[in-house]
Structure 1
Amino acid sequence: MDSVRTCVACRRRASRADLLRVVLHEGRFIVDERAALPGRGAWVHPTAECLSKAVSRGAFSRALRVSGKPDTSPLENRLKTLMDN
């Protein structure tokens, strides 16, 4: 059975396969494609709506217990690439 996670943006529950895991790496949020990187992860639907909601609300920083404003541009660029395909 696939594990269920909660999207940090919309708070809807979904299977891991339907969400993307985001981690903090060297001060930047990145997509953990294989959900295998160490450390805390935040889960988000791969949609523009959930991404913008999570970024504007600071949901990634809160979920990953990070202070300040880490760089979200690598995450936004990666999600745009995923959504275009």
Structure 2
Amino acid sequence: MVDNDSLVVDLRRRLPGRGAWLHPDPECLRLAERRRAFPRALRVPGPVDAVEVRNHLEQHA
């Protein structure tokens, strides 16, 4: 989900709106960012900030 052009981690899967699945692997996040997959999957214009997702993956790696 995107909130103010930032990706949000929804562990409970309860937030409204579109979502995107991501493997819990920092390499998958890096690849998705490089391919600009999040704006396309979430149908939002422009880039999105993935800092919260990156921090979540690093904490649980």
TM-score w.r.t. the length of structure 2 is 0.89
Conservation of the 8 A alpha-carbon contact between 2:5 and 2:49: yes
Q: Does 1:79 align with 2:57?
A: yes
Q: Does 1:65 align with 2:52?
A: no
Conservation of the 8 A alpha-carbon contact between 2:38 and 2:48: no
**Structure (1 or 2) with the greater strand fraction:** 1
Displacement after TM superposition at 1:50 (Å): 0.9
Q: Does 1:29 align with 2:7?
A: yes
2:45 is paired with a residue of what secondary structure? coil
TM-score w.r.t. the length of structure 1 is 0.66
Higher relative contact order (CA closer than 8 Å, sequence separation 6+): 2
Aligned residues: 61
Distance in 1 separating the partners of 2:7 and 2:34: 14
**Structure (1 or 2) with the greater helix fraction:** 2
Q: CA RMSD in A?
A: 1.0
Given residue 43 of structure 1, which amino acid in structure 2 is its aligned partner? Answer: W
Q: Does 1:40 align with 2:18?
A: yes
Percentage of identical aligned residues? 46
Query: Unaligned 5+ residue runs, structure 2?
Result: none
Displacement after TM superposition at 1:31 (Å): 1.0
